[in-house]
């Protein structure tokens, strides 16, 4: 890696993302530019590096160092979110931290565009939203030259080529909340299967648990609205405000 530390140990990973321990240092995650000859990949990498410099928040990755073709972040705990039926109080705590991070990035004109369980890791007890590889701004011209999300988790407007603004993150974020409550993904199968189901109008597979409706109706109402039409979805700041209120 040009400009990367010249002494250290690669602990795991291959390709563009490695877990690396510099000589005398702590574990870091190093993300490398995969192909400097690919102009789209280069622009996407430069954009992600710019976001890494700008976005400082407890529930976002910490930029440790950078070079011409690499970015180093703090290593996070890959704690699984593959739980079934988390208690609404536990889900509320996770979503509150992540909603605060979303409100932070949205206030800066940035849309993540790929919120899903695999992109939530932990720094101690704090959930952290990672991977800004396809993040952008609503008028970002790169949006026309790249995938705009993961089929099972993307908002309908991402799937059908509509304008992708902060409301798209809210749909994916709400789907994540339902996943934490139920253990069910919104759509199952490979990418082609999911795309076929969604284009045919198949609704998400999960339903709001009765325990959440009974024990935390504010959370249930937010998640239901977040999976509705783009114009009617709460903003991330609405999630923060309503999830902060003590019940």
Q: Each residue of 114-163: pLDDT tens digit?
A: 999 999 999 999 999 999 988 988 777 676 655 578 999 999 988 887 77
CATH no. of 88-244: 1.10.510.10
Instruction: Output the pLDDT for position 147.
Output: 55
Model confidence pLDDT, tens digit, residues 216-227:
999 999 999 999
Q: Does residue 80 or residue 40 have the better pLDDT? A: 40
Angle between helices 166-182 and 217-226 (to 10 degrees): 130
Say how far apart CA 73 and CA 20 lie, in whole Å. 10
- CATH superfamily for 8-74 is Phosphorylase Kinase; domain 1 (3.30.200.20)
pLDDT bin (cut points 50, 70, 90) of residue 73 is very high
Active site residue ranges: 114
Instruction: Output the pLDDT for position 99.
Output: 98
CA distances from 149 to 131, 154, 169, 173, 240 (A): 12, 6, 10, 13, 24
| Chain region(s) in the chain for CATH 1.10.510.10 | 88-244
Report how far Cα 64 is from the mean position of its chain's Cα atoms: 20
| Chain region(s) in the chain for CATH 3.30.200.20 | 8-74
Are the beta carbons of 82 and 117 closer than 8 angstroms? yes
Say how far apart CA 113 and CA 158 lie, in whole Å. 8
* High-pLDDT (> 70) share of the chain, %: 85
């Amino acid at each position: 890696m040009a400009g990367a530390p010249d002494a250290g140990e690669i602990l795991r990973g291959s390709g563009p993302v490695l877990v690396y321990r510099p000589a005398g240092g702590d574990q870091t995650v190093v993300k490398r530019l995969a192909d400097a000859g690919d102009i789209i990949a280069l622009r996407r990498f430069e954009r992600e590096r710019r976001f890494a410099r700008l976005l400082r928040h407890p529930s976002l990755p910490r930029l440790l160092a950078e070079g011409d073709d690499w970015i180093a972040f703090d290593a996070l705990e890959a704690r699984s979110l593959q739980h079934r039926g988390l208690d609404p109080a536990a889900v509320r705590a996770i979503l509150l931290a992540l909603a605060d991070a979303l409100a932070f990035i949205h206030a800066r004109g940035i849309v993540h565009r790929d919120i899903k369980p695999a992109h939530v890791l932990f720094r101690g007890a704090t959930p952290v939203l990672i991977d800004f590889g396809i993040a952008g701004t609503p008028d970002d011209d790169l949006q026309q030259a790249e995938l705009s999300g993961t089929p099972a988790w993307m908002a309908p407007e991402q799937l059908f080529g509509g304008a992708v603004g902060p409301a798209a993150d809210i749909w994916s974020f709400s789907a994540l909340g339902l996943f934490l409550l139920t253990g069910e993904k919104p759509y199952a199968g490979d990418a082609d299967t999911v795309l076929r189901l969604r284009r045919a109008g198949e609704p998400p597979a999960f339903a709001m648990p009765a325990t959440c409706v009974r024990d935390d109706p504010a959370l249930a109402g937010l998640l239901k609205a977040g999976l509705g039409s783009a114009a009617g979805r709460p903003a991330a700041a609405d999630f923060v405000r309503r999830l902060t209120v003590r019940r």
